[in-house]
Chains A and B, each alone.
Chain A
């Protein structure tokens, strides 16, 4: 089991004919992911070819979904057009839209998020690495890789990972896999201040997933999403949880690469978030090198087997 996606999930790639989208569509196909359609307006009827794969391209998400039965789309569309691309997924009634695009204006996302209220579509991102449910083949192939994460660092198993940061997620996954601990699903929720799915949404899904035995929660400075998730964990989650907060050394008021990573006040500093983690029974990773070990400590304390 896994959350949000399974190895059988059929996906659409919006922006498949671009360099970035095309490169990652190929990597997903190599991983064994069911990339069943591409969307590039004006290129409908053409094909995206890679090895023995021949993926049909459509003019719209609705056409692609109808023709292929795909329920998820991944968005590699440039920032000025990305908000529109997300809304197209909502209109097509998809279950999940994963927006990889970095640099979407905040106002566009404010409007998109409002427009998505009441729709059945969940948004992951934007400015996120995507989501991976590892498979059981060589280097975890045969799984569902949506986005830009390196597939081979994963391993099928029982730990859920949720993070705002791409490379920090890879770091955590790599530590787990190196210790022979597999993952159910690894979710990147993105580094922007307005995003579709937050830490708590993902934590709830992991908590409800019987195959997920432990969770790594990676956050950073800015906002209070991590604090909200931590308080919910304290009240509702009995699974071992390890947490890490990046940005202890960040100066106040400066944007650290991620638009969301700005320390606003006393409440959203790394120190404040770490204090809440501890208070909520989350095992804090003292350094980023300690994320997998922190989860192992928590699992041991709770008598839970992660492998």
Chain B
């Protein structure tokens, strides 16, 4: 689960990670109230959406830049009016962009130097890893690729936690001295505590900055959480912004369906995540484009299948549907009955190819055949994918 920058910074402050003073607004009237909380002087205006690349983004109304530096608060107020309620397109949003519904004003800090700091899971060692670099404010993938010697990694033993010597090692490598070293060490320790205590999946601070007075601040904050652990963090669940999520994905989660919208026109409905991913792959292999990832789980009950069809049909790009079910334990006939009922209930008009395999498959196929529905049966995944691609072409 992702949260906004301003929410992430509130968590940072709670754990003693310094951030520039800021305030949010969701209405033009709120700009004044928010700016009243900040001192007069240089101010940053930051569009709050769950996507990176905001600074280099463009609004659909032509306005350039979702993050702006302003010399005065009055300028910041005028600038915010260009952003609020408008749709920002960045390299991470896709062409549709995201509507900016919250503006975050912060004091524009004087920057001495920029750094990069992140904490996430290192899959190879199954341990948390701190990744830091002296090259902040740029794309970290680029640093990793072009100057890997400027990227430092510290693996943390979960049995002990972040050790002081590891913090010192990082401080020396990043070249901090004096008061900066002291402040940076405290920030790193507190940020790690925030990561561990909140069940974060990833914390990224880019840039982390030093100021001429020796302060060390998180200028930006990107935090995502392990959705498996949300049950023990109601305070984080409360930060969820449904405006940032696809409405179809929200609907799907109500029926324990795992759905992700994509750009293609062949919808798929599959049981099991691995099979669902491969179904998308095989559609593409035969020249089609998948409209979604949809895993109905191991069961695929009638209610789930009906809900799944409704969600799929909510995507206006969809021109055909491929159902691929491997009924291992479940009776294929039960699944077939569910599909027939779902097709009838939603009044499906689009081409539908169904590939059923597994337990009691003969009876399942007979049910589909006897339904009188204009659906096409596929024998293997390859056969079914070729058939739907042809029907949609």
Contacts and interface: CB of A to CB of B under 8 A. Distances in A.
B329 interface: yes
B358 A107 contact: no
Contacts of B293: 250, 256-257
B204 interface: no
Contact of A287 (B121, B128, B285): B285
Contacts, number: 174
Given A109-B126, A150-B329, A166 B199 contact: no
B273 interface: yes
Interface size class of B (residues with CB under 8 A): 35 or more
B184 interface: no
Nearest to B258: A257
A32 B37 CA distance: 71
Interface in A131-182: 148-150, 152-153, 163-171, 174
Interface size class of A (residues with CB under 8 A): 35 or more
Given A193-B123, A265-B141, A289 B381 contact: yes
Given A191-B274, A256-B276, A110 B121 contact: yes
A93 interface: no
A148 B329 contact: yes
Contacts of B358: 150, 153, 170, 174
Contact of A107 (B196, B277, B383, B385): B196
B277 A166 contact: no
Nearest to B128: A110
Contact of B277 (A105, A115, A256): A256
A153 B358 CA distance: 8
Interface string B346-371: 00000000000111000000000000
A233 interface: no
B326 interface: yes
A261 interface: yes
12 contacts: A148-B329, A165-B275, A169-B274, A170-B326, A221-B277, A222-B123, A248-B284, A249-B277, A253-B92, A254-B260, A260-B123, A265-B144
By Cβ-Cβ distance, the 9 closest A-B pairs, closest first, are A165-B274, A257-B273, A167-B272, A150-B328, A105-B229, A168-B274, A289-B382, A167-B275, A288-B278
Given A250-B293, A257-B295, 13 more contacts: A105-B228, A106-B201, A108-B229, A110-B128, A148-B298, A153-B358, A167-B328, A220-B274, A246-B281, A287-B285, A288-B275, A289-B381, A289-B382
Interface of A: 27, 79-80, 103-111, 113-115, 148-150, 152-153, 163-171, 174, 191, 193-194, 218, 220-225, 244, 246-251, 253-261, 265-266, 270, 286-290
